[in-house]
Amino acid sequence: MADTIDVNGKQIAVDEEGYLANLNDWEPGVAEVMSKQDNIDLTDEHWDIIKFLREYYEEYQIAPAVRVLTKAVGKKMGKDKGNSKYLYSLFPYGPAKQACRFAGLPKPTGCV
Amino acid sequence: MSEIVKKFLYLNRKAPYGTIYAWEALEVILIGAAFDQEVSVLFLDDGVYQLTKGQDTGGIGMKNFSPTFRTLGDYEVKNVYVDRDSLAARGLTQDDLVQIAWEDFDTEEEVENIVEVIDTARVRELMDASDVVFSF
């Protein structure tokens, strides 16, 4: 096991790119700790996307590529949120990659 | 995006578990979908089991990825075909298969289920008409 992050005193394993090693280890604190490392203050808007990604994974067993995420967010939350400008403003390192990491999902399929 | 659009056909011929082919094929399809090509996916032989409903992999300790096929529509794959003879030979019908919805976000055109059962003649036409065929 490569690394761990400290979430409220609990050591949680992550892979070499910082994604959770075990999906079931996720708790909101994971997103808090990871976002702090990336210098992001999580707002309700961030949580909406994180929650959305977790639900998407729950249903489809896959972390969506950014294009698909954008489309799916637009469908569910409206076009003002389903565009890459909005999503990148929340997650500057890439909405799919960074938000999936915060959400405890694996790296999206289709991201290299 | 790309000026040359080719017709890609992915053939899925193997059972979903026991080998890595089915999962790998799905990943290739999803990754390839980013390149704006015209993609068709065809399930035949034991590959038709990949689309069956109600899969439970609890007993074999593998991830059940059958729900992931339902994202194909989100990945702008609009053509999903199943060989009729392969289904019949296994005592299956279209009712045993998952449905995959497709929607064009811009035009709001919707298709409730893009999974289409086709006969051998159509399978042959499809292969003939494709520029690139990947067999898994």
Q: Which tens digits make up the pLDDT trace of A33-53?
A: 999 999 999 999 999 999 999
pLDDT at A25 over 70: yes
Do A72 and B74 lie within an 8 Å CB cutoff? Answer: yes
Q: What angle do CA B113, B116, B117 make, to 5 degrees?
A: 145
Question: Which residue would you say has higher pLDDT here, A13 or A111?
Answer: A13
Catalytic residue among A25, A102, A111, A112: A111
- Domain with A42 in it: 3-102
- Structural tokens at position B32: 């390839």
At A96 the pLDDT is 84
CA distance B121 to chain A (A): 33
Q: Is residue B2 part of a domain?
A: no
CATH number at residue A24: 1.10.10.370
Whether ipTM exceeds 0.95: no
Q: Is residue B51 part of a domain?
A: yes
Give every CB contact of residue B42 below 8 A, 6+ residues apart in sequence: B9, B10, B11, B12, B80, B81, B82, B83, B123, B126
CATH number at residue B119: 3.40.1260.10
- Domain with B72 in it: 7-135
Number of domains, chain A: 1
What are the backbone angles phi and psi of residue B115, rounded to the nearest 5°?
-75, 120
Q: What angle do CA B74, B38, B128 make, to 5 degrees?
A: 135
Q: Is residue B40 part of a domain?
A: yes
Q: Is residue B68 part of a domain?
A: yes
CA distance B100 to chain A (A): 12
Q: Is residue A71 part of a domain?
A: yes
Q: Which tens digits make up the pLDDT trace of A48-104?
A: 999 999 999 999 999 988 888 888 898 888 888 888 899 999 999 988 889 999 999
Number of domains, chain B: 1
Q: Is residue A67 part of a domain?
A: yes
pLDDT at B74 over 80: yes
Q: Which tens digits make up the pLDDT trace of B1-46?
A: 557 889 999 999 999 999 999 999 999 998 887 788 889 999 999 9
The pTM of the whole model exceeds 0.80: yes
Q: Could you tell me which residues are beta bridge partners of residue B115?
A: B80
